[in-house]
Amino acid sequence: MSRPPGMLPADFTFADLAAFDSFIDVRSPGEFAEDHLPGAENFPVLDDAERAEVGTLHKQASAFEAKKIGAALVARNIAQHLDLQFHDKPRGWKPLIYCWRGGSRSGAMTHILKSIGWHATQLEGGYKSYRAVVRRDLDELPGRHAFRVICGRTGSGKSRLLEALAARGAQVLDLEQLAAHRGSVLGNLPDAPQPTQKIFDSLIWKALHGFDPARPVFVEAESKRVGVLRVPDALMERMRRSPCLRLDTARDARIELLREDYRHLIADRPLLEGKLERLVELHSRERIDGWKAQAAAEDWDGLVAELLDHHYDPAYEKSTARNYIQLGAARRIAVDDVSETALAALADRIQKTETG
């Protein structure tokens, strides 16, 4: 069957997206919140309540009744978008429009925008096609890139080093930043809920497409999960087989850094105690109560040192040695200072040695 004119094929490539000025997601806000094309804007032709109403009519009355009511709602919503959001778009505007399956919702919006004179294109298969492309690419993309895995015990400054590398133009895949999580039981970021798994996949997909395969990509050694999110299998496998750089950071510097990173927990003792309680399956009740007593006494340096010695360091060494096969041959880097200036200088040195 031939494809209608003005339709982007379902098996599109990332490069194809460069032809468009805007990505318009006409699904309901709830659908959009779960995932969407990176950079897409949500201009729903049916909101969540309207979509539920039309769906109920389809099941309980008939397809005809559902379409009759739905068409009126869609027409009113598109008219509102034309009045409020699209009125100032230039004649040469080229939006890509999609819904769930590339059906009537995106078809209606595309038809009206094209009738006005804009170069509107509908995505064949809609969001479902996009997800298939993301899954396809995440299986293949990691193999295109040469990764350099930054290893080091908790508090070594790995994330800050990635930030310094990125600021100096290095290619950096910061999975913890994309996942809004620091990768440990204490790792939730304050006031920053983790994205959905599908959004996490989309962010990784976009980042990998933006890298030059001729240059290395720096990434932190992670486990298969960052908080509740799973790192794509092909990426995880590629990382675990990649060359490593190991930060050997002074103990005092690690304690200082962790106190800074987890100051929101220091300021909220009930929250901290709740997170410590989650470790009860790994440590004795006596040890957990001891850590809580240190928190109650505001012995923060002592608490951090205890957590490093008895929880983080043993777990990290065991997990990293088992999963990153080139760790034994890692270039070891002594770090005595985790200040912004010192890590910037370290990033410059790494850039010179790892990128030539």
Determine the pLDDT at residue 165: 97
Indicate the DSSP class of residue 310.
I
Alpha helices in 297-328 (DSSP H): 300-307, 313-323
Q: In terms of C-beta density within 10 A (0-12 exposed, 13-18 middle, 19 or more buried), how is residue 192 classed?
A: exposed
Which residues, including other chains, have CB under 8 Å from residue 299's CB and lie 6 or more apart? none
pLDDT in tens, the chain (356 residues): 455 667 999 999 999 999 999 999 999 999 999 999 999 999 999 999 999 999 898 889 898 988 899 999 999 999 999 999 999 999 999 999 999 999 999 999 999 999 999 999 999 999 999 999 999 999 999 999 999 999 999 999 999 999 999 999 999 999 999 999 876 656 565 667 899 999 999 999 999 999 999 999 999 999 999 989 999 999 999 999 999 999 999 999 999 998 888 888 888 888 888 889 888 888 999 999 999 999 899 999 999 899 999 988 888 888 888 899 999 999 999 999 999 999 999 999 999 888 76
Amino acid at 334: A
Determine the pLDDT at residue 315: 83
Amino acid at 320: T
Determine the pLDDT at residue 184: 65
Q: CA-CA distance, 90 to 220, in Å (whole number)? A: 43
Q: In terms of C-beta density within 10 A (0-12 exposed, 13-18 middle, 19 or more buried), how is residue 166 classed?
A: middle
What is the largest distance, in Å, between two alpha-carbon atoms of the chain? 73
pTM of the model: 0.92
Indicate the DSSP class of residue 157.
S
Catalytic center residues: 99
> Does residue 333 contact residue 349 with C-beta atoms inside 8 Å?
no
Q: CA-CA distance, 202 to 209, in Å (whole number)? A: 11
- The SS3 assignment for 227 reads coil
Q: CA-CA distance, 274 to 251, in Å (whole number)? A: 26
Q: CA-CA distance, 47 to 123, in Å (whole number)? A: 20
Which residues, including other chains, have CB under 8 Å from residue 296's CB and lie 6 or more apart? 269
Q: Which domains does the chain have, with CATH numbers?
A: 7-136 (3.40.250.10), 145-355 (3.40.50)
- What number of other Cβ atoms are within 10 A of residue 191's Cβ? 7
